[in-house]
Amino acid sequence: MRPYAGIPDAERPGLDVQENVALLRRFAYIEQRLCLLECGHFPGTAILECKHALGRHAWEDGQHADALRRRIVTMRTSKRVLEECPDPALSACMDEVERAADTVELLAGVHGVIKPALLAAYLWQLDTTNPVADFPTARELEIIVREEARQLAWASEAITEVAGAAAARAALDAAQSAGGFAPSPVASAAPLAPASADDPPAAARGDPAVGLPLSPEAGAVERAQAWQSHLRTFLAAAGGVTGREARCAAEVPRSQERFQISRHPRRDPRFTIHFQFHEPGDPAPETTEEKLIMMMRGRLNELAATENPASAVYELSQAADGLPWEGLLELVRHMWDEARHSMLGQAVITSLGRDIREWPLRIGPGYSYLSVGPLERYAHLGLNVEQGSMRYPPGKRQEYEWCRDVARNRLAAMYQDYDWADETYHTQIARRWVAAALKAGAVGEEQPDEASAGWATLGGYARAVGRRMAGNTQAIARAWHARKARGETLGPGDALPSGEGPAQEIDDEYRQDPEIALTRQQVEADLRHAE
């Protein structure tokens, strides 16, 4: 019978508690910063697959940071140190990673420099620490290594597509170096490509997605490699991930200013982009399949609902009166849920043999959310939009029943069942943390005027936010359509207009916007017929 409960290398000298805590503090700090910067870059990321992956990676990295933080405080260490940076040079390194100019640099830096080095450090720690004395750490690291290896397996393909194979080399090598922790070969649908009139329908091509791989944009390969070389000097200045490597001077930072999230949400250029879901003249769905596709287009377009908590997490993490880590982590969960909802819309439409590029992506709600402060936008999503979708009828329950009883689509019904469960939980997150923030006074410059708005309750605060957002949305929509009429788009250099005067309150997006689901009348009529 094997000794030591089957744990090998029990007689290895390993690391002492002080050494272990010092390493875990660095690991937790890096994972936490990765989580936050992935949230911050979400609105400015256009490629659909990258948006979805950022949602997953931000949530996993947040879970990694949290697990390591919980382990640290069990080893004679005060919780207070978790809020302290373990090394100013490490902070400077992560600040520079945040300053990625676009998706090319973001993937090249995060997944081509930091994560490969982090995975190597985890594997070294597992090979060094005593697996019996430090079993709690080893168990957490085994889970983290497995997830990081999967992330890098995905990233090696993604970086190759946007920046060339050379920039992806470190990610691929790191994923393969995980040994027994390495993931199975990545099973992925064929990637998206620019739509062409010559493309055969997806079903005719015999693939589950829609086209050919992306090609690196002009200069992307050189930019990615230059950015990786630049970031490696910052990582070397910090002594590597562990802090134990020889240090050398870093290059001059790109800027002395902190990264700022984009106020101009981006959508995948392989799609037609509309401000709102419907444009004048769009036909109404008639058949059950058309209605199902319309509902799933609502899910696919939950990109703005993902940008909302993502951007709120980043901005609140930077605010002196923002949320504590526990609150930010719950908002990251909300972010990842919304990214998954977008993916489930894609999956159902694809399962019907249709090309998701047949329909436009909408960008208006993203602009609307980013026109107000982080707490405001999150309060609107959780307390107006998602709380409104709990009403029955119509609500999330009726969407699920329609998919089950009318469309009779098992995949869609299953997805809507989980969507309903997720959004029930989101309303709890919003009530908990918006209330905590308001009680602590963490509303900052975006605080509505209490005397005129009358927000004595959470609902009152959310409705005051809705009125402000309605005016902003109308003003931004006019500017967006004016640019579109000239063949132009709003861009990072454009100031966003704000609403003036009274505007119709955005109180219940489920009821007012048919893109969220079918209209209430359609759903109820179909369900009565099914009975």
Task: Provide φ and ψ at 336, rounded to 5°.
Answer: -65, -35
pLDDT at 514: 40
| Mean pLDDT on 476-503 | 84
431: its two tokens: 């009530």
Query: Between these two residues, 279 and 509, which has the higher pLDDT value?
Result: 279
- For 62-176, strand residue ranges (E) read none
Cα–Cα distance, 245 to 124 (Å, whole number):
13
pLDDT at 215: 67
DSSP 182: P
pLDDT at 181: 55
pLDDT at 205: 33
Residue 76 has pLDDT above 90, yes or no: yes
Q: What angle do CA 124, 89, 327 make, to 5 degrees?
A: 80
Question: 286-314, pLDDT tens digit by residue?
Answer: 999 999 999 999 999 999 999 999 999 99
Question: In this structure, are residues 103 and 38 in contact, taking their beta carbons and an 8 Å threshold?
Answer: no
Question: 130-180, pLDDT tens digit by residue?
Answer: 999 999 999 999 999 999 999 999 999 999 888 888 888 878 888 788 765
Question: In this structure, are residues 471 and 499 in contact, taking their beta carbons and an 8 Å threshold?
Answer: yes
C-alpha 510: how far from chain center: 22
Residue 466 has pLDDT above 70, yes or no: yes
pLDDT at 453: 45
CA torsion angle 28 29 31 34 (round to 10): 170
Pairing state between β 273-274 and 361-362: parallel
Residue 201 has pLDDT above 80, yes or no: no
Cα–Cα distance, 308 to 194 (Å, whole number):
27
Cα–Cα distance, 72 to 286 (Å, whole number):
58
Q: Is 362 helix (H, G, I), strand (E, B) or coil?
A: strand
Residue 218 has pLDDT above 90, yes or no: no
The crossing angle, in degrees rounded to 10, of helices 165-177 and 220-237 is 50
Contact residues for 221 (Cβ-Cβ < 8 A; gap 6+): 163, 164, 166, 167
230: its two tokens: 């630049």
| Mean pLDDT on 447-467 | 69
CA torsion angle 102 108 110 116 (round to 10): 180
| Mean pLDDT on 357-378 | 94
Question: In this structure, are residues 131 and 10 in contact, taking their beta carbons and an 8 Å threshold?
Answer: yes
- Please state the domain extents for the chain: 13-183+218-237, 288-530
pLDDT at 442: 60
Q: Worst-scoring range by mean pLDDT, 140-149, 198-207, 454-463? A: 198-207
Please state whether 398 falls in left (phi above 0), alpha (psi between -120 and 50) or beta: alpha
pLDDT at 26: 98
Res. 500 pLDDT band, cuts 50 70 90 = low
Question: In this structure, are residues 429 and 382 in contact, taking their beta carbons and an 8 Å threshold?
Answer: yes
Cα–Cα distance, 146 to 13 (Å, whole number):
25
pLDDT at 82: 97
pLDDT at 521: 61
pLDDT at 230: 97
pLDDT at 210: 38
pLDDT at 448: 53
pLDDT at 211: 41
467: its two tokens: 């009125």
Res. 452 pLDDT band, cuts 50 70 90 = very low
pLDDT at 522: 65
Question: 9-43, pLDDT tens digit by residue?
Answer: 999 999 999 999 999 999 999 999 999 999 999 99
pLDDT at 531: 61
Res. 360 pLDDT band, cuts 50 70 90 = very high
Query: Between these two residues, 279 and 303, which has the higher pLDDT value?
Result: 303
- For 281-363, strand residue ranges (E) read 361-362
Q: Is 415 helix (H, G, I), strand (E, B) or coil?
A: helix
pLDDT at 168: 82
Cα–Cα distance, 265 to 308 (Å, whole number):
10
Residue 277 amino acid letter: F
Query: Between these two residues, 477 and 195, which has the higher pLDDT value?
Result: 477
**Across the chain, what does the average pLDDT equal?**
87
Residue 317 amino acid letter: S
- For 212-270, strand residue ranges (E) read none
Q: Worst-scoring range by mean pLDDT, 138-147, 242-251, 274-283? A: 274-283
Contact residues for 332 (Cβ-Cβ < 8 A; gap 6+): 35, 39, 58, 59, 62, 309, 313
Q: How far is CA 228 from CA 38, 53, 134, 224, 258, in A?
A: 17, 20, 34, 6, 19
Which residue is listed with tokens 């969220």? 516
500: its two tokens: 């003036």
Residue 214 has pLDDT above 80, yes or no: no
pLDDT at 59: 98
| Mean pLDDT on 77-101 | 97
Helix (H) or strand (E) run with residue 344 in it: helix 325-351
Share of the chain above pLDDT 90, in %: 70
527: its two tokens: 């369900």
Spell out the CATH class of 13-183+218-237. mainly alpha
Res. 445 pLDDT band, cuts 50 70 90 = very low
